[in-house]
């Protein structure tokens, strides 16, 4: 599907790549961890908190061999196992915090072919759909702090994330946001989530990591976590 949005996204992706080539991968603006300018709200130390990590991620293959460019873009291989980019970040947070993990999945399996997935995601966004989820968090009341992770899709949250946010009661909880992207960083998603979860404490210094920087993700995550707790 040829749309203005698609053209804008592809143009930006190409510009980012060109910038990375010139600057030897140090893109400064569009590459690394980000925090926006408003200070974080005060949070209790993570050590004292019961923590859950909930993430949405769609690795476009589970085969570590002979990946296409699109498949490589959407994955990070650890010890021969293919993870989605956001899934990989969730795994690092899990290792560092000992938190429990909930994977957000749609009831209907998503296509793994990149263009088919892009088209479906755009159709869902244009129709403001709320795709049904496979499951909800069964024991959300047990957690004080929830890390929520997602990729940027079409300059926004993937529509299943709206279902996820709207179908759970996060009131009174601390919400830590992390995201991966292909050039558009957080794309206003922190503001969207803050508005949607108006009875929660949503941190403003969300983590965002470019899919091109997955090799450095561990250091980025550790640095971010240090700044939170």
Ligand X SMILES: Cc1cc2nc3c(=O)[nH]c(=O)nc-3n(C[C@H](O)[C@H](O)[C@H](O)COP(=O)(O)O)c2cc1C
In whole angstroms, the minimum distance from the beta carbon of 83 to ligand X comes to: 8
Give me the 194-213 binding string for ligand X, x by CB under 6 A, dash otherwise. -----------------x--
Q: Give, in order, the Cα–Cα distances in Å from 79 to each of 64, 76, 82, 116, 212.
A: 10, 10, 8, 29, 19
Contact flag: residue 151 with ligand X (CB under 6 A): yes
Part of the chain binding ligand X (CB under 6 A), chosen from 99-107, 133-141, 182-190, 219-227: 182-190
Among 142, 139, 134, 179, CA closest to 160: 134
Q: Which is nearer to ligand X, 87 or 97 (CB)?
A: 87
* Closest approach of ligand X to the CB of residue 45, in Å: 28
Selected binder of ligand X within 58, 157, 159, 197 (CB under 6 A): 58
Give how far Cα 93 sits from Cα of 79, 98, 192, Å: 17, 8, 23
Which of 59, 124, 157, 221 is close enough to bind ligand X by CB under 6 A?
59
State which residue, 43 or 77, has the beta carbon closest to ligand X.
Answer: 77
Do 111 and 117 touch, CB atoms closer than 8 A? yes
Neighbours of 102 (CB within 10 A): 21
DSSP 8-state code for residue 139: T
Of 74 and 97, the one with the shorter C-beta distance to ligand X is 74
Site string for ligand X, 75-114 (x = CB under 6 A): ---------xxxx---------------------------
Nearer to ligand X, 51 or 186 (CB): 186
Residue from the set 33, 124, 180, 208 that interacts with ligand X by CB under 6 A:
180
How far is the CA of 8 from the CAs of 14, 22, 108, 228, in angstroms? 10, 21, 29, 34
Among 20, 117, 133, 197, binds ligand X (CB under 6 A): 117
Per the CB < 8 A criterion, the answer to whether 79 and 71 are in contact is: no
Instruction: For residue 217, report the phi and psi dihedrals to the nearest 5 degrees.
Output: -60, -40
CA 214 to chain centre: 13
Where along the sequence are the contacts to ligand X (CB under 6 A)? 9, 57-59, 73-74, 84-87, 117-118, 121, 151-155, 180-184, 211
């Amino acid at each position: 599907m040829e749309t203005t949005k698609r053209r804008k996204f592809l143009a930006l992706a190409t510009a980012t790549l060109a910038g990375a080539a010139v600057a030897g991968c140090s893109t400064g603006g569009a590459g690394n961890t980000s925090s926006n300018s408003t200070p974080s709200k005060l949070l209790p130390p993570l050590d004292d908190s019961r923590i859950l990590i909930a993430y949405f991620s769609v690795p476009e293959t589970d085969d570590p061999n002979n990946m296409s460019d699109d498949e490589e873009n959407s994955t990070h291989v650890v010890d021969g196992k293919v993870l989605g980019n956001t899934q990989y970040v969730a795994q690092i947070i899990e290792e560092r915090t000992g938190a429990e993990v909930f994977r957000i999945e749609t009831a209907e399996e998503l296509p793994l072919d990149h263009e088919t997935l892009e088209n479906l995601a755009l159709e869902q966004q244009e129709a403001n759909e709320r795709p049904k989820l496979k499951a909800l968090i069964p024991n959300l009341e047990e957690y004080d702090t929830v890390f929520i992770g997602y990729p940027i899709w079409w300059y926004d949250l993937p529509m299943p994330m709206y279902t996820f946010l709207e179908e759970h009661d996060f009131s009174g909880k601390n919400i830590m946001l992390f995201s991966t992207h292909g050039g558009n960083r957080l794309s206003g998603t922190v503001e969207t989530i803050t508005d949607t979860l108006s009875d929660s404490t949503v941190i403003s210094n969300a983590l965002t990591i470019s899919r091109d920087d997955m090799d450095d993700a561990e250091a980025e995550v550790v640095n971010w976590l240090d700044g939170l707790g």
